[in-house]
């Protein structure tokens, strides 16, 4: 039981108590602050902030006399955090088209070719330009909000995509992605960074695409700029076997693809290292670097990631669609890394649902504890994006981004709660608990 005394609250913001048979704090079992699951749980909300969390009798004892809202047969949970997406690709039909057909069998170049062809055709036809992109991206964001996502880590190639989250209830952290491997592309990316400047709140935050697509000088410059601006540096890394083959030997389908696209001019020195090892050699792995995918990493690389406190985001739905393999989740957990989860975009995932990502991850790794998986979709995402003091758990002082998840008849005892939340997938029905002041 933790909380503030009611007399500290402003009288205009009287708390409302929300009560449910089960309350999931999002904390790890054994954490200070109350553990993971509370039976007959309640939380008090005032001014959009959680004031008090505990069992219903505890919360009433502390804040008696407030309005009480009962959420029968529901589980109160923190909002979900989607740690990796490209909302600007919401118009893509690639994942839909290939659903049920053989995927790309782990060769990323087939998919990149299709993605570029689709981009060209969207640019060629009358698709409404940026406003067409923004309309679809906002629809996607609203669908995410409707299923209980409260925060999205979004990466885009177009500056216009930065607008997607403006004026929306869901919090969106946008990063403009730079890439380019040839000398010419490197110089143009560095010049672009220079032109954008790095000071002030109106300056866009930037990130780099991947070790195989972005010159090392650009990766370093973008990381240094992110550190100065105080935001996470998110990078796709070790997604496929061909990526590692290219970084280690300079060969394979990615090399052929880069040559074909005239992105290869020989200026990139093959690092002869695994993807994580290579990023570490550039000095860009630390507690604010988010390694997205991290499927093909060695034991030694996981040790480096743990030592550097690097963050990880897994995208099981996207990985499955592209056939690139399964990330070594158990090994990450054994080294004390709790990966976050992301849907990735509609170009590699037909359904952008975090409930589904949890279900797929559990299918891929049946030995995972359901409670751990739920922590990945909430707390770990908030930590990865540097917002854990505001969202990701139900604790006093956090934003009241709270879901009431309908457990129906599936939840009869404590052990059913996390089982249901992480295996029901896109059938989960979640409603937002009142977020604003409510004077009844």
Task: Catalog residues that contact Zn ion under the rule CB under 5 A.
Answer: 344
**Dist CA 250 CA 246 (whole Å):** 4
Q: Nearest approach, Cβ of 177 to Zn ion (angstroms)?
A: 9
* Nearest residue (CB) to Zn ion, 84 versus 401: 84
Tell me the C-alpha to C-alpha distance, in Å, between residue 349 and each of 243, 262, 344, 360. Answer: 20, 28, 7, 12
| Identity of the residue, 58 or 107, whose beta carbon is nearer to Zn ion in the bound complex | 107
Which residue lies nearer to Zn ion by CB, 44 or 377? Answer: 377
In whole angstroms, how close is the CB of 149 to Zn ion at the nearest point? 16
* CA 365 remoteness from chain centre: 19
Buried b (16+ CB within 10 A) or exposed e, 298-311: beebbebbbebebb
Q: Give whichever of 154 and 344 is closer to Zn ion, judged by the CB atom.
A: 344
* Distance of closest approach, residue 414 Cβ to Zn ion, in angstroms: 36
The least CB distance from residue 235 to Zn ion, in Å, is 10
Pick 346 or 379: Cβ nearer Zn ion: 346
Closer to Zn ion by CB, 344 or 395: give it.
344
- The residues near 260 (Cβ < 8 Å, ≥ 6 apart) are none
Closer of 344 and 399 to Zn ion (Cβ): 344
Structure tokens at 379: 């707390």
Cβ atoms within 10 Å, residue 106 = 19
**Residue 318 beta carbon to Zn ion: minimum distance, rounded to whole angstroms:** 7
CB-nearer residue toward Zn ion: 38 or 314: 314
CB neighbours of residue 93 within 10 Å: 12
Q: Give the shortest CB-86-to-Zn ion separation in angstroms.
A: 6
State the nearest-atom distance from the C-beta of 84 to Zn ion, in Å: 6
Between 134 and 315, name the residue whose CB sits nearer to Zn ion.
Answer: 315
- In angstroms, what is the minimal distance from the CB of 323 to Zn ion? 16
Alpha carbons within 13 A on the beta-carbon side of 27: 19
Minimum CB separation of residue 107 from Zn ion in Å reads 17
Q: 247: which residues sit within 8 A by CB, 6+ positions away?
A: 211, 212, 270, 271, 272, 273, 274, 275, 278
d(CA 290, CA 233): 6
With both helix axes pointing from N to C terminus, report the angle between 183-196 and 216-229 in degrees, rounded to the nearest 10.
20
The one-character DSSP state at 71 is: -
Residue whose C-beta lies closest to Zn ion = 344
Assess contact for 256 and 173: CB atoms under 8 A: no
- Output the CA–CA distances (angstroms, integers) from residue 215 to 144, 198, 220, 253, in the order listed: 34, 20, 9, 19
DSSP-assigned letters across all residues of 298-351: -HHHHHHHHHHT-EEEE-HHHHHHHT-----HHHHHHTT---EE----TTT-S-
Which letter does DSSP use for residue 205 in this model? P
């Amino acid at each position: 039981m933790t909380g503030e005394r009611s007399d500290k609250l402003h009288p205009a913001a009287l708390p409302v108590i929300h009560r449910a048979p089960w309350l999931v704090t999002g904390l790890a079992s054994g954490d200070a602050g109350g553990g993971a699951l509370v039976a007959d749980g309640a939380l008090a909300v005032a001014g959009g902030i959680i004031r008090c969390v505990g069992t219903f009798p505890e919360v009433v004892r502390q804040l008696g006399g407030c309005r009480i809202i009962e959420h029968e047969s529901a589980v109160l949970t923190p909002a979900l955090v989607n740690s990796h997406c490209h909302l600007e690709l919401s118009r893509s039909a690639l994942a839909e088209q290939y659903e049920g057909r053989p995927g790309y069998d782990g060769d990323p170049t087939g998919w990149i070719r299709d993605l570029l062809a689709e981009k060209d055709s969207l640019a060629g036809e009358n698709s409404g330009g940026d406003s067409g992109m923004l309309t679809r991206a906002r629809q996607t964001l609203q669908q995410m909000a409707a299923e209980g996502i409260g925060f999205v880590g979004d990466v885009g190639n177009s500056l216009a995509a930065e607008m997607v989250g403006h004026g929306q209830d869901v919090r969106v952290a946008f990063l403009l992605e730079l890439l380019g491997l040839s000398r010419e592309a490197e110089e143009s990316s560095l010049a672009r960074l220079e032109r954008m400047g790095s000071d002030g709140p109106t300056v866009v935050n930037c990130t780099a695409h991947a070790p195989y697509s972005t010159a090392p000088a650009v990766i370093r410059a973008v990381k240094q700029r992110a550190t100065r601006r105080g935001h996470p540096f998110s990078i796709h890394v070790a997604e496929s076997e061909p990526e590692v083959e290219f970084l280690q030997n300079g060969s394979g389908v990615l090399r052929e693809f880069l040559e074909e696209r005239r992105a290869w001019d020989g200026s990139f020195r093959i690092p002869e290292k695994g993807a994580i090892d290579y990023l570490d050699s550039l000095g860009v792995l630390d507690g604010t670097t988010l390694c997205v995918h991290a499927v093909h990493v060695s034991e030694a690389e996981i040790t480096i990631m743990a030592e550097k406190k690097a963050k990880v985001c897994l995208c099981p739905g996207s990985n499955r669609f592209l056939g690139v393999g399964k990330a070594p989740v158990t090994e990450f957990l054994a080294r004390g890394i709790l990966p976050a989860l992301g849907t990735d975009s509609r170009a590699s995932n037909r359904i952008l649902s975090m409930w589904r990502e949890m279900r797929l991850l559990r299918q891929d790794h049946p030995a995972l504890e359901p409670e751990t998986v739920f922590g990945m979709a909430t707390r770990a995402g908030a930590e990865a994006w540097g917002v854990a003091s505001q969202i990701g758990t139900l604790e006093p002082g956090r934003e009241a981004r709270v879901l009431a998840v309908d457990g129906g008849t599936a939840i009869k005892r404590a052990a059913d709660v996390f089982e249901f939340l992480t295996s029901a997938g896109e059938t989960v029905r979640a409603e937002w608990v009142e977020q604003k002041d409510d004077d009844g």
